[in-house]
Structure 1
Amino acid sequence: MGEAKPKVIPYAGVDETVASAAKAALYKLLQTPGRLFWAGVLAGVLIGMGYWFAYMTAASFWPYRVFLEGTHVTKEHVGTLIGYEVLSKYHIDLVTIAKMILGAVFPLGLISILIGGAELWTSCPQVPIYPLLTGKAKDTAIIYNWIASYGGNFVGGFFLAFMATYGTSMLLGHPFFDMSFMFAYKKVHLDAWTAFWRGIGCNFLVNLAVWLWLRSKKGDFAGQAVLIWFPIFAFVAIGFEHSIANMFAIAAGLFGAAINWKTYVITYWQFFINNLLPVTYGNLVGCIAFITLYYWYLAAVGGKVEKAGAVDLVVATIRVGLVLAIIHLVVMVVVPAFIAAGVEAALGLHEGVKLANPYIALVPGVAACIYYLVLPFIAYATLKPWTAVKEV
């Protein structure tokens, strides 16, 4: 008798989750551009609404006030302003409470998206990738999904930022402006290395929430909401970076400064290149490395998911984490950055310039939105995603 071969079985039933997700996720790849883009717009609005809700409930605990002195942004601790130097000297403030409130209410967005139905790009490096890894879809279908969802998310977040500032004026008064502007200003002045790693931490937790939702009992909406809530609370309270949430947060800070100070303090080049570029890639890596490929590799032992080894894992990492990621970053971040920067140059907009009309700050972003609106239709016609799906 020959020696018995080692027996490997799927780990904790993850093969069933990956297999069911791979089949169920095909609807994300087989949508017309109008439908997929609109689903992305709603997701951008919902994530932005979570941020807006967080600002309105946490800002009273934010201990700083911001000022523009010439072209320089400064901040003062409230304790200093009211004459209590000890408060600022010993950092006696309520930042931690403010961050806890931010984290507690922000999950409104993802809970609404996953249970209600909308297309959030930061979950797309997980859910639509399972059909790709299990042979049910090709790369072109993934590119199409990423283009439509990311573009829709930007338009949704941009619109909501307009609503929160130019529309309702709710983020223009103190302390709401102080908090929203400081968040935006800090985000566009992060170094790329820090922004990248904060993006990794964020989307690891976001897609942990998505994975828990995939594993949850269908129809148990209350239980699903609780499962989603905890990881999202953690990422916000820690201070990680979420590219889609930043589309609202940075735009709101940019608009608020334009209205309150009549000054162009944050540029779209900073918006796209300083923040969205490294954060988006960090979000990709955080999801792909720690969630998508991890659970697929655990599942791929011959249960409901075809066997795959270490070599397959390396190939998949290069395929998704480098090739598809670079295509996405160039098309969805770098190109619109140049479009917006070109419009800024044409209008004479640069950091520190005074604005006769604060509405001029909208124009470069609107140009980027038009690009994002048109691109899914071009991608649908050229990539033909319906031909890249092997099983329905």
Structure 2
Amino acid sequence: MAYKSPQDIAAYAVEAGVKKTSMPLKSMLLLGFLGGAYISAGYLLSVRVTASLPSEWGTFGSFLGAAVFPLGLILILIAGGELLTGNMMAVPMACLTGRVRWSRLVHNWFWITLSNFAGALFVAYFFGHLAELTTGGVFLEKVVATAGQKLDVHFWPALVSAIGCNWLVGLAVWLSYGADDIGGKIAAIWFPIMAFVAIGFQHVVANMFIIPVAIFEGYYSWGEYLGNFIPVFLGNAIGGAVLVAAVYWQSYQGDLQSVSEAGKRETKDIQG
């Protein structure tokens, strides 16, 4: 399998961040909707696979759920989609090298958050609730228990858990940038995503599915969800922007500086 060096991955991540912030709003919203829906589909698959497993299986059941969850990010990075937590790594890389203004980061994160939420709610309501895939029996028990576990975590533990989550998710996206074929990308995505799910870290977009689907079934409240959303959003941002983007930017700053200057010259040439 062909792959890029770490320095080349860093340069690729910068270009990915530039492209993400320069796409039209319509494309951003449509791809963001798909991103939220794909992550939710992966989570729904995990629920359906693990809910009826015998308790004697212990953590092996958690591993099976974690093993199928990566479907969401695989669909996003290969079929096409925009995911907030991936953008929390790629867009800061472009900003740190001077290729993108920080105001564009806020613009991108805002609209991708909203569109990811819309996609997650779509899957939660239509496929979880209306299609009755999460409305009864062991599946409802699994959804309610999982959502409750996430909501029971206080602010600071939730934030730190979310940092760990997006350290791994950011690395999954980073590693996928290093692969030049589909098989390599799938392998690069699968291991870090499997790890964060098996560990139990909190992911802001995954929570956009699992907590609302429990709310649609009459459990918990939107206020409780907001109390989870804030620390998990902040923690995911720190994990992606600091532990991945800032660390690699600082490590490969010399290599990225030449790439950034070349990119700026190319932009000026295009503009006139």
For the criterion TM > 0.5, the same-fold answer is yes
- The equivalent position to 2:257 in structure 1, one of 305, 309, 318, is 305
Q: Which runs of 5+ in 1 are unaligned?
A: 1-11, 64-92, 259-264, 308-388
Q: Deviations over 1:132-189 (max 9, x none)?
A: 1111110111111101111100011011110233310011121111001111122112
Structure 2 partner of 1:124: 87
Residue 226 (structure 2) pairs with residue 272 (structure 1): yes
What is the alpha-carbon root mean square deviation over aligned residues? 1.9
Structure 1 partner of 2:153: 190
Structure 1 partner of 2:264: none
Residue 60 (structure 2) pairs with residue 97 (structure 1): yes
Counterpart contact for 2:125–2:213, Cα < 8 Å? yes
Supply the distance in 2 between the matched residues of 1:110 and 1:167 (Cα, whole angstroms): 25
Question: What code does the residue aligned with 1:167 have?
Answer: L
Supply the distance in 1 between the matched residues of 2:247 and 2:268 (Cα, whole angstroms): 24
Q: How does 1:207-246 map to 2 (within 5 A)?
A: 207-217=170-180, 220-246=181-207
Supply the distance in 2 between the matched residues of 1:249 and 1:391 (Cα, whole angstroms): 47
Q: Which runs of 5+ in 2 are unaligned?
A: 260-266
Structure 2 partner of 1:164: 127
Counterpart contact for 2:249–2:256, Cα < 8 Å? no
Pick the structure with more helix per residue: 2
**TM-score for the superposition, normalised by structure 2:** 0.90
The percentage of counterpart residues that share the same residue type is: 33
Deviation at 1:32, TM superposition (A): 2.1
**TM-score for the superposition, normalised by structure 1:** 0.63
Supply the distance in 2 between the matched residues of 1:114 and 1:54 (Cα, whole angstroms): 19
How many residues are aligned here?
A: 260
Q: Deviations over 1:290-329 (max 9, x none)?
A: 21111111111x334359xxxxxxxxxxxxxxxxxxxxxx
The structure whose Rg is larger is: 1
Deviation at 1:13, TM superposition (A): 4.5
Question: What code does the residue aligned with 1:282 have?
Answer: G
Structure 2 partner of 1:138: 101
The 4+ residue runs of structure 1 with deviation greater than 4 A are: 389-392
Deviation at 1:62, TM superposition (A): 5.9
